[in-house]
Amino acid sequence: MERTSPAGGVGRSGKLRIRIPDRAPAAPAMPQTRVLTGITTSGTPHLGNYVGAIRPAIAASRAPGVESFYFLADYHALVKVQQPERVQRSTLEIAAAWLACGLDPDKVRFYRQSDIPETTELTWLLTCVAGKGLLNRAHAYKAAVDRNREGGEDDDAGISAGLFMYPVLMAADILLFNAHKVPVGRDQVQHIEMARDFAQRFNHLYGNHFTLPEAVVEEQVATLPGLDGRKMSKSYDNTIPLFAPREQLKKLIFSIVTDSRAPGEAKDTGDSALFQLYQAFAGTDETAAMRQAYADGIGWGDAKQRLFERIDAEVAPLREKYEGLVARPERIEQQLRDGAQSLRAQYATPFLRELRAAVGLRDLGARVAGKATAKQAQAALPVFKQYREADGRFHFKLVDGERVLLQSRGFESPKEAGQRIAALRRDGFTGADAGLALGPEADNAAVQAALDALRAAEETKA
Ligand code: TRP
Fold of 33-223+328-359: Rossmann fold (3.40.50)
Q: Is 338 in the pocket of ligand 1 (CB under 6 A)?
A: no
Residue 289, number of CB atoms within 10 A of its CB: 13
Q: Is 381 in the pocket of ligand 1 (CB under 6 A)?
A: no
Taking the C-alpha atoms of residue 111 and residue 226, their distance in angstroms, rounded to an integer, is 30
Instruction: Express each pLDDT in 136-180 by its tens digit.
Output: 999 999 999 999 999 999 999 999 999 999 999 999 999 999 999
Instruction: Choose among 48, 44, 56: nearest CA to 224.
Output: 48
Residue spans of the chain under pLDDT 50: 1-28, 371
CA distances from 370 to 152, 205, 362, 461 (A): 50, 11, 12, 17
Q: What single-letter amino acid sits at 349?
A: T
pLDDT for the residue numbered 19: 42
Q: Is 173 in the pocket of ligand 1 (CB under 6 A)?
A: yes
pLDDT for the residue numbered 41: 97
Q: Is 115 in the pocket of ligand 1 (CB under 6 A)?
A: no
Q: Is 399 in the pocket of ligand 1 (CB under 6 A)?
A: no
Tell me the best of 36, 116, 188 to mutate to test the pocket of ligand 1, counting ligand atoms within 8 Å of each CB and taking the most: 188
Taking the C-alpha atoms of residue 289 and residue 293, their distance in angstroms, rounded to an integer, is 6
Residue 123 CA, ligand 1 centroid: distance in Å: 14
pTM of the model: 0.75
Name the residue ranges covered by the structural domains of the chain: 33-223+328-359, 243-324, 381-461
Residue 448 CA, ligand 1 centroid: distance in Å: 24
Tell me the best of 81, 111, 170 to mutate to test the pocket of ligand 1, counting ligand atoms within 8 Å of each CB and taking the most: 170
User: Cα-flanking dihedrals φ and ψ of residue 13, to 5°?
Assistant: -65, -30
Residue 433 CA, ligand 1 centroid: distance in Å: 37
Taking the C-alpha atoms of residue 273 and residue 303, their distance in angstroms, rounded to an integer, is 11
Residue 28 CA, ligand 1 centroid: distance in Å: 27
CATH architecture, domain defined by 243-324: Orthogonal Bundle (1.10)
